[in-house]
Structure 1
């Protein structure tokens, strides 16, 4: 169901978000640096608080229904964006991006993603308005994605350059060295583009691929293009700081794919039920509405999304903490065994020391 918000509010909100993005890009992100944990935490907290406040304003102006749709959509997009960070980490490592430049790379990638997602959202809204049966396709795709997340969750993720990146390498002369934040430099006497150009395209195009599941997911919660777009904006705005805040914590979220699978599968079923309820397919009940088909209220969507994220996060942290405790106990046991072997002289022999390994020059052969 689409809940109309006043046009003045939509334009004012989009203008304010545009100004915020420009300030973040040209003022906050102007000085390349490695943000501290405290700085990253403050910015993530700021963007989360901003999203919560925006949802409250939407509720005050449009009512509880659009506010609930915004919160459900924002949580879904944010959780899917956290999953994207795994691939961003791989891309940064693959291209050996200097840490002080990673903020800029992420910011440009986010801007590119917002532009591309905006086009996707407008096209999706236009299609859904004309063809309700597309919900069947979206729902089936989300259920398929959920199954794939569960069955392929243990596979090692690798980054493979897509066609856009490979085409860019063929068209432009790309160097091998970074030159600060410059996009062009001189290498071996000729002007070339730095690898930053390739990384920008890799981040942006990779996020576009993720939009193929995130956009259908959000349309499963609301069909209002304004709410769909703003949930994407708020989910992506804090992503840059979240990248530095989480750091090694990403590796500890071992059950996150299962949580995302639950969310996507739930929304997929919700879409199919909604398509059946608003049926326009001629060979199903003669194209008439199926009023007996249940629809999922937005409050239930919120409960499922929040519950799935909480359970998978807590379970992930408990499992990795238990694994860490076992590993530490094994290390203590091994160290104790080694110490006991040395004290008893049970076959532990000292290895000869190579003088070159110590760092001092070896003595001449004819030294007395």
Structure 2
């Protein structure tokens, strides 16, 4: 069994363990001194949560399974409040822990529940989707949604560990798996072009969990994120590059009431950011073309409705990366050369959108 361990540094360092059939690594990530474990899991993943709970019980922990709604429906204030009540009922103390099992929405919720309960308890995240493994579960960002926007309420709370068992990817719906691939491709554009080469050499294989490069693609994407968040946990500067494509993407998700796949929105957002950089004279046209080519080769979308622009533009105003009324975009000045574009003129914003409108 090939197991990869990636260290995420900072004030509270932790390991991301990646491999197939690595569930036995979980107690080692959780550590000693913990008695009670709240196992927060997507209610549709009971068959995956059960063996997780069994491994923890065998290691001597008292485990209480707490199912939550599937997908983005989990990231609501009411669901979070329900978890707080359950933690109180269980008598969870600051030395107890939370294990989050599910996709990115579930690990976001579990992480924020851990950050907010008693001002912070230990959490280990077990992402079961490609998106969760390469993005949501790594980096210490936690959060929930409100009607006004995605992830506007949250906290930085590094987990005690992250366990990526690649066997959980096999049962993922194809479209959901491809959605997660967008975040891997993003890592290729901002930092590791070898990712793009792997995807371009075998786009069909990249779009399948049984592809020949799945472990390497996941590992490379996690390493990119680990290096960035080690240097900048709280998004003081460098970490913003991980938001490449996300300004428009979050606006699309808000407009779609979070029913639009995150990776699909990021794919569109990356093409928009590339067009914006090209119009600003910072990125050559062939780099924009490469965005479209690599994304479409794997089945990801690269366009969105023309009529949606006014609503999307209004939503982008309250994006987390904005400073006051100034919009800030992560753009590329070349492959693996991320930069920032602050306060672009309205006509440039609209002209770039016309390039992705359908």
User: TM-score normalised to the size of structure 1?
Assistant: 0.26
Structure that is richer in helix per residue: 1
Q: Which has the larger radius of gyration?
A: 1
User: TM-score normalised to the size of structure 2?
Assistant: 0.26
Structure that is richer in strand per residue: 2
